[in-house]
Amino acid sequence: MAVTAGPLGAPINRVDGLVKVTGRARYAAEHQAPGLAHGWVVSSDIAAGRIVRIDATEALALPGVLHVLTHENRPPLAEDDDSYRDEVSPPTSSPFRPLHDDRIRFSAQPIALVVAETPELARYAATLVRVDYERAPHVTDLQAHRGAAYEPKPRMPPPRPRGDADRAFAQASVQVDAQYLAPIEHHNPMELFGATVIREPDGRLTVYDKTQGVQNVQHYLCKIFGYRTGELRVLSPFVGGAFGAGLRPQYEVFLAVLAARVLNRSVRVVLTRQQMFGLTHRPATWQRVALGADADGRLEAVIHEAVAETSRFEDFNEAVVNWSGLLYRCDNARFDHKVTQLDLCTPGDMRAPGAAWGVYALECAMDELAVKLDIDPLALRLRNYADRDLNDDRPFSSKELRACYQQAAERFGWSRRDPRPRSMRQGHALIGWGMAGGVWEAMQVPASARAVLTADGKLSVSSATGDIGTGTYTVMAQIAADALGLPFEDVTFALGDSSLPAAPVQGGSFTVASVGSAVKAACERVRERLLALAGQHAGAGSPVDVLRRAGLEAVEEEASVEPSAALERYSRYAHSAVFAEVRVDEDFGTAQVTRVVSAVAAGRILNPKTARSQISGAIVGGIGMALEEESVIDQAFGRFINHNLAEYHVPVNADVHDIEVIFVDERDDVVNTLGAKGLAEIGIVGTAAAIANAVFHATGRRIRDLPIRPDRLL
Active site residues: 681
Distance between CA 444 and CA 436 in Å, rounded? 26
Count CB atoms within 10 A of the CB of residue 2. Answer: 6
Asked whether 439 and 573 are in contact (CB, 8 A), the reply is yes
Name 139's Cβ contacts closer than 8 Å, sequence gap at least 6. 145, 341, 342, 343, 638
Cβ atoms of 578 and 595 closer than 8 Å:
no
* Beta strands 267-270 and 37-43, pairing class: parallel
Q: How many residues are listed for the chain in this entry?
A: 714
Distances from the Cα of 630 to the Cα of 284, 359, 694, 705, 713, angstroms: 10, 18, 20, 11, 16
For residue 595, the tally of other CB atoms under 10 A from its CB is 17
Q: Is the CB of residue 681 less than 8 Å from the CB of residue 440?
A: yes
CB 266 within 8 A of CB 66: no
Cβ neighbours of residue 14 under 8 Å, at least 6 residues apart?
471, 473, 474, 610
Question: Which of 279, 217, 223, 254 has the alpha carbon at shortest distance from 80?
Answer: 223
Beta-bridge partners for 130: 55
Distance in angstroms (rounded) separating the CA atoms of residues 128 and 320? 44
Rounded to the nearest 5°, which phi and psi values hold at 397?
-65, -35
Range 120-127 contact pairs with CB under 8 angstroms and sequence separation of 24 or more: 121/38, 121/62, 121/64, 121/65, 122/38, 122/39, 122/40, 122/65, 123/40, 124/62, 125/40, 125/59, 125/62, 125/65, 125/68, 126/40, 126/41, 126/42, 126/59
Query: Residue 299 contacts by C-beta under 8 Å, 6 or more apart in sequence?
Result: 291, 292, 293, 328, 329, 330, 384
CA separation for the pair 187, 332 (Å, rounded): 36
Q: Residue 576: count other Cβ atoms within 10 Å of its Cβ.
A: 33
C-alpha dist (Å) from residue 27 to 41, 195, 205, 210, 215: 20, 9, 17, 8, 17
Kind plus residue range of the DSSP H or E element containing 403: helix 401-412
Sheet holding 267-270, edge to edge: 65-69, 110-116, 37-43, 267-270, 194-199, 205-209, 232-235
Amino acid at 93: S
Which segments of 117-184 are extended strands (E)? 130-135, 174-182
